[in-house]
Amino acid sequence: MSKLSIGIIVNGATGRIGSTQHLANALVPIRDQGGIEVGGDRILPRILLLGRDSHKLSELAGRFGARWSTDLDGTLSDSDYAVLCDTSATHARKAVLEKAIAAGKHIYSEKPVALSVALGLDLLRAAKARGVRHGAVEDKLYLPGPQKLLRVVMGGSLGRVVGFRLEFGWWVFDGMEVPCQRPSWNYKKGEGGGLLFDMYPHWRYVLEGLVGPIRRVAASATTATPVRIDEQGGRYDVDVEDTAHALLEMESGAVGAVLSSWATRVRRDDLLTLQIDGTNGSAFAGLHRCWTQHAPQVPRTPHFNVAQDEGVDYREGWAEVEADATFTNPYRVGWETFLRHLHSDSPMHADLAAGIRDVQLAEACMRSIRDRAWVGMEELKV
């Protein structure tokens, strides 16, 4: 068995997503556990950390056993590194990916891959013209709860899917009395902030992966907390939405709701919950657990009683779905898939085109809010 090394540049390596998800949870374990086997070969990542803060980069490189640099152009000119993964700030992503493509690097991008569908399509055309391979991070469907939910849906026991409801979010403090637990750029339009671009790209591939293509969307958004305190203690005005809700109609005819907010206090099973209802049963999942209920277990509820509580426990009759495999970190799943794609041309469903489709849902929601109308999710044309 041959050992093949693939040089990977991780841009934005010192950020939380870069250092934790891409490095600590994916690339470093893959490397330290001997790589992955592909077609009789053993593929080993060789990692270079790229960023702006030399002190943080040096510390991180020492911890992970990697090289580091603050020189983007110089790094892109190094032929020992074939891949650039961009985990940096959203507003800077297009310029970084354009440079990487021009340098002939394969690209693996965090979401959103671009700030608009049009800009994303420009990147995809450039990648195709340059002949480089491309991938986009689509991790949420590989969480344990959604994976169990996918297994239930694919098994067919729910029957025809008629509807769904996705709820997501928590309370993000404004920093006035309790420190904010999210960075301030999340609340600034000029830095790629806003709930729609942060989370709705995820909801696109999760929902289409479970229920099928989205036909059209109607959305509403608002800013619940208009003033916040930044990392330096200064007040700033929020110019993006922190709450966004959408009604989705699928090609199958199923209709569902997506409720997302950074201004809600959680009183449900998990920070993310998704229920899918079918003609023969329903399934409900959080981030880690999943339950199903079928016709014999459904309580017979002819009406509600305005005079008294009937005392029905609506959580009874739901059976928990057991895991059928050892959990693998979703970011590691994505990287292993991309590395296999690079080496053996195996399918890469989460490619740049999929990432642009993710952006399309966020953009469609924005158009719906602006025009106060349903907006279609037409097939993208490259």
Task: State pLDDT tens for residues 256-302.
Answer: 999 999 999 999 999 999 999 999 999 999 999 999 999 889 988 87
pLDDT of residue 300: 84
- Cβ neighbours of 226 (radius 10 Å): 12
pLDDT of residue 285: 98
Amino acid identity for residue 123 in this structure: L
pLDDT in tens, 312-349: 888 899 999 998 888 999 999 999 999 999 999 899 99
| Length of the chain as a residue count | 382
The parent domain of residue 68 ranges over 2-138+330-350
CA-to-CA dists, residue 318 to 37, 276, 295, 360, angstroms: 40, 13, 11, 35
pLDDT band of residue 305 (cuts 50, 70, 90) is confident
> Model pTM?
0.95
Residue 3 in contact with residue 9, Cβ under 8 Å? no
pLDDT of residue 310: 83
Calculate the average pLDDT of the chain. 96
Residue 293 in contact with residue 152, Cβ under 8 Å? no
Q: Tell me, yes or no, whether 145 and 128 share the same domain.
A: no
Amino acid identity for residue 42 in this structure: R
Domain with 76 in it: what CATH number?
A: 3.40.50.720
Q: Tell me, yes or no, whether 131 and 145 share the same domain.
A: no
Whole-number Å distance between alpha carbons of 174 and 33: 42
| Alpha carbon of residue 239 to chain centroid | 23
Q: Rounded to 5, what percent of the chain is helix, strand, coil?
A: 35, 25, 40
pLDDT of residue 2: 86
Q: Given a cut of 80, is residue 1 above it in pLDDT?
A: no
Q: Tell me, yes or no, whether 34 and 108 share the same domain.
A: yes
Q: Tell me, yes or no, whether 57 and 110 share the same domain.
A: yes
pLDDT in tens, 47-83: 999 999 999 999 999 999 999 999 999 999 999 999 9
Residue 32 falls inside a structural domain: yes
Residue 377 falls inside a structural domain: no
Residue 163 falls inside a structural domain: yes
Residue among 374, 371, 355 at smallest CA distance from 116: 355
Q: Tell me, yes or no, whether 144 and 110 share the same domain.
A: no
Q: Tell me, yes or no, whether 201 and 346 share the same domain.
A: no
Q: Tell me, yes or no, whether 161 and 269 share the same domain.
A: yes
pLDDT of residue 311: 85
Q: How many domains does the chain have?
A: 2
Residue 381 falls inside a structural domain: no
pLDDT of residue 98: 98
Percent of the chain beyond pLDDT 90? 89
Q: Tell me, yes or no, whether 166 and 226 share the same domain.
A: yes
Q: Is the dihedral of CA 94, 99, 102, 105 positive or negative?
A: negative
Domain with 290 in it: what CATH number?
A: 3.30.360.10
